[in-house]
Amino acid sequence: MREVMYTPVLKARMGELTALGWIQPVTRQHLLPLLQIEPGTTDEDYGRPVGKKAIDKAVGRLGCWAGQELLLDVGLLDTEVVIEDDAGAIGYAVSQALDHGVRATPVLRLDDGLLARKDAQAAHADLRTGVAIRLSDADMDEEPEDLDDVLASLLGDLALQPSDVDLVLDLGCVIGDLPAVAGSRLAADVLRGLTAADEWRHVIVAAGAFPADLGEIVAWEIGELPRWDAALFDRLQGRRRLPCELVFGDYAVTNPVATSAAFRSAPSLRYAVADRWLFLKGRLNDPRGHDQFYEICERIALHPEFVGAGLGTADARIASPRANGHGPGNATTWRAVGTAHHLDYIVQRLTTLGEP
């Protein structure tokens, strides 16, 4: 079995999925993405937003990940309404992913209903996918022994063993040193309270630290944003008596809060370095328009912490943004470049330094 080192939590949007197609083979080898499908603004079947159109749109873009595995989360949709052939959103999404060559493990939450659990059971029975159980920070605030009992009960209902399950400890948005310390302590308490914690298929600890609002970043000045999610994981790894090996998870270059609103944005680049992101943006009213992205890339490539064109496709494009007939792209392109660099860079750090 391949060694999974990193689980990026990605929104099923074109920029993030394009990035998955750009990353290096070694990155793919160590990556187990958690793909989150969000409701569409016009997705109304059976008189409610059950999510069929959102699933079709997202899964239809998964050709970039054919032949690979991922965790597929449709929990933001209505998972208790039948979509097709007695299956709800979970069952339908897993089957559609398989049709596109992707082996998808369904993600469950503790409060999911009967149809969601039935779908997950059926996927495992048919495809031996197992399941992923995604715990929120609110779930983890329960007494450790109570949470352990809830998980044991859920596994019993699903007729699964821990070895069939990827356990995701999702701490959500963590910005600041105190939240990072508190998050590492909470995760450690949960892990120590689990019965046979080392028997789970993977134990993933995820958090997101990229801000939702970048309004204070001044155009054409390189801003620096701490990677508190990586700091949390490093603190957690440094705690004593952890009962199992952990997989690092983050939200790459996005904020954990789901948003469906589209808005016009200036060209920008989010670039991960050792302990922070570099962020550079142009201006909305600049007469150069999207062509500002060329200069943004050139400025980042001159930064002392630029990794170099050899890291992968994204960094090669940043190093030579005008080469090979590349246009400046659009918001999707800018997000894909930042995300692909992030994924390649985090795997490089984990495989060489043992830290994200």
Tally of CA atoms within 13 A in the half-sphere of 112 that contains its CB: 34
Q: pLDDT tens across 5-27, in order? A: 999 999 999 999 999 999 999 99
Say whether pLDDT at 350 is over 90. yes
Q: Which two tokens stand for residue 342?
A: 């992030």
- Between CA 49 and CA 38 the distance in angstroms is 11
pLDDT attached to residue 71: 98
**Angle subtended at Cα 232 by Cα 228 and Cα 237, rounded to the nearest 5 degrees:** 145
Q: How far is CA 108 from CA 3, 69, 277, in A?
A: 23, 17, 31
Q: What's the whole-model pTM score?
A: 0.95
Say whether pLDDT at 175 is over 70. yes
Query: Around Cβ 234, how many Cβ atoms within 10 Å?
Result: 16
Q: Which of 232, 245, 120 minimizes the C-alpha distance to 187?
A: 232
Give the residue extent of every domain in the chain.
Answer: 6-32+130-266
Say whether pLDDT at 211 is over 80. yes
30, 1 Cβ separation under 8 angstroms: no
pLDDT attached to residue 42: 53
In the predicted model, what is the mean pLDDT of the chain?
A: 93
Backbone angles phi, psi at 175, to 5 degrees: -125, 115
Say whether pLDDT at 32 is over 50. yes
- Between CA 263 and CA 265 the distance in angstroms is 6
pLDDT attached to residue 261: 55
Say whether pLDDT at 346 is over 60. yes
Q: pLDDT tens across 103-123, in order? A: 999 999 999 999 999 999 999
* % of the chain with per-residue pLDDT over 70: 95
Q: pLDDT tens across 116-147, in order? A: 999 999 999 999 999 999 999 999 998 878 99
308, 278 Cβ separation under 8 angstroms: no
Q: Which of 307, 336, 305, 301 minimizes the C-alpha distance to 321?
A: 301
Q: pLDDT tens across 325-338, in order? A: 899 999 999 999 99
- Between CA 148 and CA 126 the distance in angstroms is 28
